[in-house]
Amino acid sequence: MSAKNTCPICGGNKVKGTTTFTVDLGFGVVVVRNVPALVCDQCGTGRIADEIADEIAERLEMTVNDARKRHRQVEATAYMPA
């Protein structure tokens, strides 16, 4: 088993799933749900898969910019695959 597929925290197996990201902007918090990730089947720790990390980062940035413009204290959104 490669280290890439093993959870660094508990050593459990990582499986494809989704995770929730929270970004603290100071004035508020942005929550993005359903982000594709490798999720540990034991402790639930999620990590964005390398192959989509750039795309996810771009989308997170867009969501954060939008929330900043609207001065929302809490912005919750769901990731939509392209």
- Contacts with Zn ion by CB under 5 A lie at 7, 9-10, 12, 40, 42-43, 45
Contacts of 40 (CB under 8 A, 6+ apart): 7, 9, 10, 12, 13, 14, 15, 46
Q: How far is the CB of 18 from Zn ion (least distance, A)?
A: 16
Q: How far is the CB of 57 from Zn ion (least distance, A)?
A: 23
Q: How far is the CB of 7 from Zn ion (least distance, A)?
A: 3
Rounded CA-CA distance 73/9 in Å is 31
Return the number of the residue (39 or 67) whose C-beta is nearest Zn ion. 39
With CA atoms as reference, report the closest residue to 17 among 41, 51, 1, 43: 41
Return the number of the residue (28 or 46) whose C-beta is nearest Zn ion. 46
Return the number of the residue (45 or 77) whose C-beta is nearest Zn ion. 45
